[in-house]
Chains A and B, each alone.
Chain A
Amino acid sequence: MKLSELGVGKTAIISEVKGQKALRGHLLDMGLTPNTCVTVRAVAPMGDPIELALRGYRLTLRLEDAGNIEVEPVSMVCSGNCSSCASNSGKRGKRS
């Protein structure tokens, strides 16, 4: 599923980041890399953009751009502390 479809308060693990080179590069640089856990914290008053929590900080992203990020929802609640999340998703073992 896409990150833009993930509901408020839900947490997911990023599986793939798509999109044009510049956008993609920017998303990856900001820490939205595959296997990272990310929580949708809120939606702006007009319904867009959305507010995310990842890697211990908060980021805002337009729904349109969030549509380039494929995620797998997880049931756990994200503390924003990704090391606990990464160990659950087997991040360490999944190195290329």
Chain B
Amino acid sequence: MILALAGNQNCGKTTLFNALTGSNQHVGNFPGVTVEQKIGTVKKTRDGSDVKIVDLPGIYSLSPYSNEEIVSRDYIFNEKPDGIINIVDASNIERNLYLTLQLASLGIPMVIALNMMDEVKSNGGSINTKKLSEILGVPVVPISAAKGEGIEELKDVFIRVVENKEKPKPVDYCTGEVHRAIHSLMHMIEDHAADAGISRRFAATKLVEGDESMAKRLKLSQNEIETIEHTLIELEHEAGVDAQAAIADMRYDFIQDAVGKTVTKMSTDSKQHKMSVAIDKILTNKYVGLPIFFIIMGIVFYLSFDLIGGNLTDLFETAIDAGIEAFRSWMTDFGTNPVVISLLCDGALKGIGSILSFLPTIIVLFLFLSIMEDSGYMARVAYIMDKLLRKIGLSGKSFVPLLIGFGCTVPAVLSTRTLSSERDKKMTIMLLPFMTCTAKLPIYGFMASIFFPDHTGLVTLSLYILGLLLAVVMGLILKNTLYKGKSVPFVMELPNYRIPGLKTTLLLLFEKARDFIVRAFTVIFGASVIIWFLQCFDIRFNIVTDTESGMLAQIAKLIAPVFSPLGFGNWRAVTALISGFMAKEAVVSILQVLTNKDTAITDIFTAASAYSFLVFTLLYTPCVATVAAIRREFGNRRKGVMVALLQSVYAWVIALVVYRVILLFV
């Protein structure tokens, strides 16, 4: 059997999912969209039945207004799960039950997992679950996902409910004119609803709420649509009822009544709530809120890219290099063909090694990010940063991904998954390559120390600022062209602060690491072998001894004239740029390899063309790991490649402009 796990954001859904399925998880995408879908197999069911659980996105309602809501609705209607587990945060029960009422009217076997019961109890509160279950017409199981309490009982109940096909008992929360309108529509659309496999009650309610996508899904005739419109107009003008508001109001009234009869203590009286309010007096404070945020991010960056992550990466690198060398000498002793040794060691292993050495940094960075997310601080960051990002058509939620972009674009792209709208996500990804990642920093340092020895800091800073300025320009362009329209309404909950669960965090890190390693062994592996091949063979497929006669250099010589207007139409510079596609660090190492006492780097570049080269490096196609990540998030190979090509084009244009402007002055 397949069950859908549905619930609000911040109600412990992921924790429950992990508690039920452990590490038996499979990550994929929901049909037709790039929204991540997690499927897990429930471990150790008492009667040995095979139960799969699909984790739906965190939603507040089943309206068709946000990406997550549409994905969840489509999943339920198209894939028809055998049952629904609705997780409800008992410490914030009123708003959580709003979704419950809608889920219960779907006519699918359902169980409510009343989470955070430990928190309610520790505050001296209680909830009469038996009575709540009677009122809602759905079994209610009190649990604490974080402490693993009530999980076994929950399993027993949902297996029983699904096996006996116990549908929720219909609950009538509507009264008066709206009630009559819903019932008359229920009769009218009965056949359509049966054909579409949707409960008529749910369908009729959504139609009265003015949900046009429901009319489409039911395949209503023009005549029927007009009848519905007429009913709605009648409601609004003759009875003076605003159906959309009235239905929301009635749901909340019903819930308030139910809560009044079953819950003894209010959520705002809880220790957790009071503590969160107190913490927010500092963290979102008018004066110190922003400085504290930057200090926190500074510490996170220092730890991820320097103290912990950076040093671990260095260690990793040394270990990998040693491993490769050991392997090389072992194979040489064995008498393996030198070409094969070179393919394995210089091509494949070195490519994978250079990517894998990023792993510690990425893991440490994600550890901090997941702590920020799960503790509830990320919502505060979005809240305090929103005004700034709105100017370029994004919301505060995009701030952290953009900031991570200064570290490494790959985790930054992955972290855009937390953004609720598809539009915001894609737009943020498009802006990410403008943030100078740490791999580009050595190139700036190397070139600046040779050509601008007195102003290295200034040159580096100017490139960072140029990237930011261009990101703003690009944001404004995207906002008015490709991604017209506003970002989704910024209506965001500020959840209570919580201590993140160890298990949830570890599982997330494990997932990220696996994801990254899989990528390293597929896309990046392929790209490394291609670059190695181009470097080591000439066009007649003979092995070359120096890089100059290799295919890569030949290709570079062919392309080089394209870069003449930019001041560096030199095959050495172009070879470095092509190699930079593998990893930006390669630009410096290739330049060093290709320059010697015959051709010094100062023979290839002038100060002006060196700066133009840096501008091009800042902007052109990101490294292959990033392109692979972008491609995956866009869910479309062509678009991923398009983004990469497009970037090279405007990098060329902007470097040209910068170069020509500099020439005017020197």
Distance between Cα atoms of A25 and B176 in the complex (Å): 21
Whether B284 and A44, one on each chain, are in contact in the complex, defined by CB atoms closer than 8 angstroms, is yes
Contacts of A26 in B (CB 8 A): 61, 63, 65-66, 489, 491
A56 close to B252 (CB less than 8 A): no
> Closest Cβ of chain B: how far from A3's Cβ, in Å?
12
A80: B residues at CB distance < 8 A: 266-268
A6 in the interface (beta carbon within 8 A):
no
Whether B63 lies near A25 (C-beta < 8 A) is yes
* Min CB gap B265→A, angstroms: 10
Interface residues of A in 52-96 (CB under 8 A from B): 53, 55-62, 65, 79-83, 86, 91, 95-96
> Is there contact, CB below 8 Å, between A47 and B387?
yes
List residues of chain A with CB within 8 A of the CB of B94.
31, 55-57, 82
Report chain B residues within 8 Å CB of A46: 384, 386-388
Q: Tell yes or no: B604 within 8 A of A by CB.
A: no
Cα distance, A28 to B252, chains bound together (Å): 10
Q: A25-B65, A34-B249, A79-B268 are in contact. Are A44 and B386 (CB under 8 A)?
A: yes
Say yes or no: B383 contacts A44, CB within 8 Å: yes
**Distance in angstroms between the alpha carbons of A34 and B245 in the assembled complex:** 7
Contact indicator B256/A86 (Cβ below 8 Å): yes
Question: How far does the Cβ of A47 sit from chain B's closest Cβ, in whole Å?
Answer: 7
How many Cβ-Cβ contacts under 8 Å join chain A to chain B?
Answer: 142
**A30 within 8 Å of B (CB atoms):** yes
Residues of A within 8 A of B523 (CB): none
Main secondary structure of the interface of B (DSSP, over half): helix
A4 an interface residue at 8 Å Cβ cutoff?
Answer: no
Verify B489–A23 contact, CB threshold 8 A: yes
User: How many chain A residues touch B (Cβ–Cβ < 8 Å)?
Assistant: 44
Q: Does A27 contact B (CB under 8 A)?
A: yes
A24 at interface by CB-CB < 8 Å? yes
- Given known A-B contacts A24-B244, A33-B252, A80-B268, A57 and B493 have beta carbons under 8 A apart: yes
**Which residues of A7-29 are within 8 A (CB) of B?**
17, 21-29
Are B176 and A95 touching (Cβ within 8 A)? yes
B252 touches A95 (CB 8 A): no
Q: Is A48 an interface residue (CB 8 A)?
A: yes
A81 touches B266 (CB 8 A): yes
Within the complex, what minimum Cβ distance (angstroms) separates A26 from chain B? 5
Chain A to chain B: the 7 pairs with minimum beta-carbon distance, closest first:
A80-B268, A29-B61, A28-B248, A56-B267, A46-B387, A58-B494, A33-B249
Min CB gap A2→B, angstroms: 16
* CB-based contact B266/A55 at 8 Å: no
Q: Mark B258-296, 1 if CB is under 8 A from A, else 0.
A: 001000001110000000000010001111011000000
Query: Which of the listed residues A22, A49, A80 has the most CB atoms from chain B within 10 Å of its own CB?
Result: A49
For B10, give the chain A residue with the smallest CB separation: A57
Q: Which of B245, B285, B388 has the most CB of A within 10 A?
A: B245
A-B contact pairs, 15 of them (CB 8 A): A21-B210, A31-B98, A47-B387, A48-B387, A49-B490, A51-B280, A51-B284, A55-B95, A55-B252, A56-B267, A59-B494, A60-B383, A60-B494, A62-B386, A65-B490
- For the A-B complex with A43-B286, A55-B252 known, give 20 more contacts whose Cβ atoms are closer than 8 Å: A17-B245, A21-B210, A23-B489, A26-B489, A26-B491, A28-B244, A29-B63, A30-B493, A31-B94, A31-B98, A44-B387, A46-B386, A48-B387, A56-B92, A58-B493, A59-B491, A60-B379, A62-B390, A86-B256, A96-B246
Considering the complex, give the chain B residue whose CB is closest to the CB of A22: B65
B492 on the A face (CB < 8 A): yes
Shortest C-beta distance, A50 to chain B (Å), equals 9
Decide if A45 touches B95 in the complex (CB within 8 Å): no
B581 to chain A, nearest CB (A): 39
Contacts of A43 in B (CB 8 A): 286
- CA gap between A61 and B488 in the complex, in Å: 12
Residues of B within 8 A of A62 (CB): 386, 390, 489-490
Residues of chain A with a CB closer than 8 A to B178's CB: 96
Nearest CB of A to B67, in Å: 12
Which chain A residue shows the least CB distance to B91?
A56
Residues of B within 8 A of A86 (CB): 256
A43 to B289, CA, bound (A): 11
Given A24-B244, A26-B66, A62-B490: A83 and B176 interface contact (C-beta under 8 Å): no
